[in-house]
Structure 1
Amino acid sequence: MSVAAVLPVSRSSSVVLNLGDAPAVISLASLIGDAALSAKVNSLVERGDAPGCIHALLPAASTLLASSQYSNGQVSSAFAILASTAEESGVEGSALHDLLLEIANTAKSAGSASEKPEEKAQRSAARVKALAAVYHVAAAPVTRANILQILLETAHERNVDALVAPVLARVDSWVEAWALPTAEAQKLHRACVDVAEALYAGETGGPAAERAACTAVLERMEAYLKTFEAPGSNAAAGVEVARRACALFLAAPHTFASDMLNLSAVKALASAPDAASKAAGSLLTAFLTGTNDAVASALSAHKAALPALGLDEGKLRSKARLCMLAAAASASRANGGNGVVSYADLRATLGTSDDMVLEATVLEAVHHGVVVAKMDQIESTVTFEDVTPRVFGDEEWKTLLHDLKRWEVGLQRLMHVTL
């Protein structure tokens, strides 16, 4: 009796290993070609010892991973057989969880020492596919989350992050559906951060693609940092990613609004032991809430830490002007304001006496989507028609509600005229 014949991949189907003229459904032991292993596995099958079968076959599965003579499909099918065997074995609870993680960790690392350099890329893909097969078979939410974490870590460690890129867009909905404990959610989100950063670092598709990749990193970082809002969480444990998130936000040419200052892990930067973390938190606070003088003061105070954060002082000063302009635009529209600001007021806000610098800043802000504005050089005014708030707090909600109410009244008038 072959192993595969009694080890379904799911409750309704078996794994097919396509080996040309060989039988379509075969045992893993037969696939390896080890007669002694085949005899041992068949004996374990007859005794109904599913965990014993798995532990006997794991070294054989490692052989599949290490050799390029076996296709990715064969490898993933083999690991699906092992995972399905565990799920159907009658083992439950933590024992089943541990057994499936043992299978997953085998797919991650077993046999890697014997890989030839020229085979590493192909075998890396095989490992990712094998882990995907185990993930799809696992049923328990925490087990699925842990296997997905291992899958992401494997792809990242082997520089094949692109293979798991689609996960990043769906992981938030999965975490919510699985109702994971905070610690498990943190580990999974942390693995996503590493993958997203690698994808951004390797992005070569031009400005639009780089912008999208940068946005994806910030989204993954914020998702991770938000897990520290759960009761009893140690916000200090999120400081490393918080520092990187602040630095990325400050360095990115298209980011001007964020709610990160509300996050406990970002607040914890102020009490971090290293100068770079303190600088990251202080600079972000100045950029999102401070005046031009506050930004200048923060840059002066933390100038020595900028290289450690990968930040350029000149670029930060240019970006600060855009942030100050956004603040002025928001203030001009608050509480039903008409959005009109004089050149004189904007020069004071931006810390410049040059109208050309002011106008260039407005044009750059429009280009980056920070504001929608019209300049009147005759009247020396700028009319802000829309703005992206630096932060979204109580005042921003009031402004939004006011604008919605005004829009509702206008719509009702239009409907009355039309009818």
Structure 2
Amino acid sequence: MTTVVPTSEDDLSLSVVRFTSELAWADAGPEVVESQVDRLCVEAQECMVSGRWLDLVSLMLTSADLIFSKVSDKDLECVFTVICNAVTKSEDPDEILEMAKLISAKIVQQPNDRPALRLKILFNLYNLLDIPRGRFHVYMKSLNLAINGKVAEHIVPSVKKMDSFLKEWSIGIKDQRELFLTVSNVLRENKSSAKDSFKFLTKYLATISGEDAHEMNAAKEEAVRAVVEFVKAPDMFQCDLLEMPAVGQLEQDAKYALVYQLLKIFMTQRLDAYLEFQTANSASLKSYGLVHEDCLTKMRLMSLVDLGSSDPGQIPYGLIRDTLQISDDEVESWVVKAISAKLLDCKMDQMNEVVVVSRCTERVFGKQQWVALRGKLATWKENIANVISTIQANKITEDASQAMQGVMIR
């Protein structure tokens, strides 16, 4: 096997050109190989002398497809390290971006051939770039490679840094939209990341306003997916989907109106509404992969949450029984389920058969909930101010009392 043995940065690039061209022309005979290799090496030297780094990258990538099929992982990584390093030579941001596009396009051409290694090469390229636009482009290529090559687990950890990435890249709404949807699709491939996938899907939908009819229409399928994923999720009980125009458009859509109706039931109504809907639309629910028994369980919990929100303080056992359509013996077990899911903070008064609620999760957190929260914070602030005033008054009284005692003693 041919081995690249560099002695300087220029030698590195020439070695790669020689290495790849020898592979490309190996079947043409010694004389042809020698002439072609010499020609390509001269061309590479001219590119380096004149500072035409994009042309040099293009030249080194000419036989890249052969590299992937004929060399070891170690040699392949070595070759692409040299190619990627060319982005550090230029001072022109546009040229750097074009080099990054050219290299990343070549790397992702065959995602099923050693995808993990290809992804590693892309990460190396990302780290060598110092222009935000180039980094964003390479990261997007990495996401798509992770999906197509089925190696999502290798890129999932990077998603945790998304906030810092967005700050660094400073990308517009259109790019954010593409990013959020792609990240959601990557996380969707990883079953343990279902919640994060849903989070980025809602971020995507939130970027779409009613002003762009084309984007609204393109988002319908994803809006439906978001609704179905929310209803399916056994541990998600709160979302902002109803407030998003991309989801709201489903209400008047002939094909998807039932999906919107189902979401509205889960977010604003109780079990009886769901059972009525399910009776009339059982086939539609099955077509979306929704299981009635799972929906029933979730809807009972959400109905119990609604009781806690609508009737703060105390909820009679009988009201829970009737709302959840269960037996008397099951009331306490459903309250325990709600506590375990962190939907309620409460105590069960078995003597008086009431549930005393101290905190309840809101299914929808919109304008009304913000107003209520503002009122609670204002009350809390006033109470704290009163406590501070009382403490200060007591301190003054105590200081005065101690002063009087000192006078009496003297």
TM range (shorter): 0.7 to 0.9
**Which of 162, 165, 172 pairs up with 1:174?**
165
**Which of 57, 62, 77 pairs up with 1:59?**
62
Match for residue 276 of structure 2?
A: 297
Letter in 1 for 2:339: V
Q: Describe how 1:205-284 pairs up with structure 2 within 5 A.
A: 213-229=193-209, 231-232=211-212, 234-272=215-253, 274=255, 277-284=256-263
Counterpart contact for 2:184–2:196, Cα < 8 Å? no
Match for residue 9 of structure 1?
A: none
Q: Tell me if 1:78 matches 2:57.
A: no
Counterpart contact for 2:210–2:245, Cα < 8 Å? no
Identity %: 22
Q: 1:148: how far off?
A: 1.4
1:55/1:102 Cα in 2 relative to 1: closer, same or farther (>3 Å)? same
**Which of 342, 346, 349 pairs up with 2:320?**
346
Deviations 1:279-337 (Å, cap 9, x if unpaired)?
3322111101113222223323332122332210011011101111111111233xxxx
Counterpart contact for 1:321–1:350, Cα < 8 Å? yes
User: Greater shift after overlay, 285-294 or 136-145?
Assistant: 136-145
Match for residue 399 of structure 2?
A: none
Q: 1:105: how far off?
A: 0.8
Q: 1:197: how far off?
A: 0.3
SS in 2 for 1:159: coil
Counterpart contact for 1:161–1:198, Cα < 8 Å? yes
Q: Describe how 1:194-209 pairs up with structure 2 within 5 A.
A: 194-200=185-191, 203=192
SS in 2 for 1:302: helix
Q: 1:390: how far off?
A: 0.2
Aligned length: 369
Match for residue 151 of structure 1?
A: 142
Give the CA RMSD over aligned residues: 2.7
Gaps spanning 5+ residues in structure 1: where?
A: 1-18, 204-212, 334-338
Deviations 1:336-387 (Å, cap 9, x if unpaired)?
xxx21222333343244x2223322211111111111111122121111111
Match for residue 106 of structure 2?
A: 106
1:386/1:97 Cα in 2 relative to 1: closer, same or farther (>3 Å)? same
1:33/1:103 Cα in 2 relative to 1: closer, same or farther (>3 Å)? closer
Q: Tell me if 1:317 matches 2:296.
A: yes
**Which of 343, 366, 388 pairs up with 2:361?**
388
Based on CA coordinates, which of the two structures has the bigger radius of gyration? 2
Deviations 1:137-171 (Å, cap 9, x if unpaired)?
44444443232111100011111111111232222
1:166/1:24 Cα in 2 relative to 1: closer, same or farther (>3 Å)? farther
For 1:100 and 1:398, how far apart are their aligned partners in 2? 49
User: Greater shift after overlay, 375-384 or 127-136?
Assistant: 127-136
Counterpart contact for 1:280–1:309, Cα < 8 Å? no
Letter in 1 for 2:72: Q
For 1:21 and 1:141, how far apart are their aligned partners in 2? 33
1:229/1:68 Cα in 2 relative to 1: closer, same or farther (>3 Å)? farther
Deviations 1:13-61 (Å, cap 9, x if unpaired)?
xxxxxx7865374122144363333233113323443332122111234
Answer 1 or 2: higher relative contact order, Cα 8 Å, separation at least 6: 1
TM-score norm. by structure 2 comes to 0.80
For 1:77 and 1:308, how far apart are their aligned partners in 2? 49
TM-score norm. by structure 1 comes to 0.79
Counterpart contact for 2:140–2:179, Cα < 8 Å? yes
Gaps spanning 5+ residues in structure 2: where?
A: 23-36, 396-410
Q: 1:68: how far off?
A: 4.6
Letter in 2 for 1:23: T
1:285/1:188 Cα in 2 relative to 1: closer, same or farther (>3 Å)? same
Match for residue 400 of structure 2?
A: none
1:79/1:301 Cα in 2 relative to 1: closer, same or farther (>3 Å)? farther
Letter in 1 for 2:266: F
Letter in 1 for 2:279: S
